[in-house]
Chain A
Amino acid sequence: MDGHVLPMEDQEDQASADDLLLWVLVWSELAAFGILLAGFLVVGFLQADAFASARSHLNPLLAGINTLVLLTSGWQAALAARPAASMTTRRRALALAALFGLGFVAIKLFEYSTEIGAAGLPQFGAFFELYFLITGFHLLHVAFGSAILLLVAWRPSPGNIVLITTLWHVIDLVWIVMFPLVYLV
């Protein structure tokens, strides 16, 4: 028997452990962003006027465009994760998912450049501190996730493709919820 091939029971145990680790990671992300967003809502309730006037300095159109970009990236990630897809298709889809992710980063950085001037002004309360903290934390996830997508596109393996695409969809879900909570509520 090949020394590198695990017996079937061990392979199932390994797959089950990988699955558990993946979902622990998913829920760690959701818990962190959930606490941040809930905190944002609470402070927004306590500083309602400051948050309302601060929001007039945001650009919801760019945030909407970024939602389109990230969903398109998620679509490519889903194409890459299909077991029926050829490895060439998977690699192309992973690279495209990463490129759209980097597009999201570029648009968000441009949006920041139009908003940074209003940060720190006392009439806006804690809005911009929380805004840059929460959206910046998400932006780092997108930038890091894009780099991992490119890495996996370069050296693909089925397990790694499922891992990064699942996390990528979670980053997508976080943005979908973050958008209305930060820009509108």
Chain B
Amino acid sequence: MAMTHHNERRLRNIWAVLIAIVLSGMAVMAVWGGTALVTAALLVLAVIKCRLVAMDFMGLRQAPAGLLFGLLAWPVTLALLAVAKLAMSMVLSV
């Protein structure tokens, strides 16, 4: 079964890291938003957040590796699709 075995303190620390990542992303977006590079960086941050949620909130750190990799294939695939779209749009606009 998918469940975390972390203690409360560990879960609070992971939550704090997630919040820090979101706030950093929001700050970057506010200051430098709109460029393809910033968008690609925010996609990487999204995958990192998904990894933390899956491993530590869902408890897949302790589960068979296939479950974790299978789940993380979803955000990674969509992020790669998004990067491909950004790249093709840039090529066509040149």
Which residue of chain A has its CB nearest to the CB of B67? A23
B86: chain A residues within 8 A (beta carbon) = 185
**B3 near A81: Cβ-Cβ < 8 Å:** yes
A60: chain B residues within 8 A (beta carbon) = 26, 29, 33
A78: chain B residues within 8 A (beta carbon) = 4, 6, 11, 56-59
Bin chain B's interface residue count.
Answer: 35 or more
Bin chain A's interface residue count.
Answer: 35 or more
**A166 near B58: Cβ-Cβ < 8 Å:** yes
**A48 near B89: Cβ-Cβ < 8 Å:** yes
Q: What's the least CB distance linking B38 to chain A, in Å?
A: 8
Q: Which of B64-94 contact A (CB under 8 A)?
A: 67, 71, 74-75, 77-79, 81-82, 85-86, 88-89
Q: Which of A22, A37, A180 is close to B2, meaning CB atoms less than 8 Å apart?
A: A22
**A84 near B5: Cβ-Cβ < 8 Å:** yes
**B3 near A169: Cβ-Cβ < 8 Å:** no
B75: chain A residues within 8 A (beta carbon) = 173, 176-177
The stretch among A3-11, A69-77, A118-126 that forms the contact with chain B is A69-77
B7: chain A residues within 8 A (beta carbon) = 82, 84
**A75 near B57: Cβ-Cβ < 8 Å:** yes
**A45 near B85: Cβ-Cβ < 8 Å:** yes
**A68 near B12: Cβ-Cβ < 8 Å:** no
Task: A43 to B75: give the CA distance in the assembly, Å.
Answer: 19
Q: What's the least CB distance linking A20 to chain B, in Å?
A: 11
A18: chain B residues within 8 A (beta carbon) = 1
A15 at the interface (CB under 8 A from B): yes
A–B pairs, 14, beta carbons within 8 Å: A19-B1, A22-B2, A41-B78, A41-B85, A72-B15, A78-B57, A81-B3, A81-B59, A82-B11, A169-B58, A176-B53, A177-B79, A180-B43, A185-B82
**6 other contacts beyond A34-B78, A173-B75, with CB at 8 A cut-off?**
A26-B71, A44-B85, A67-B22, A177-B46, A177-B74, A181-B82
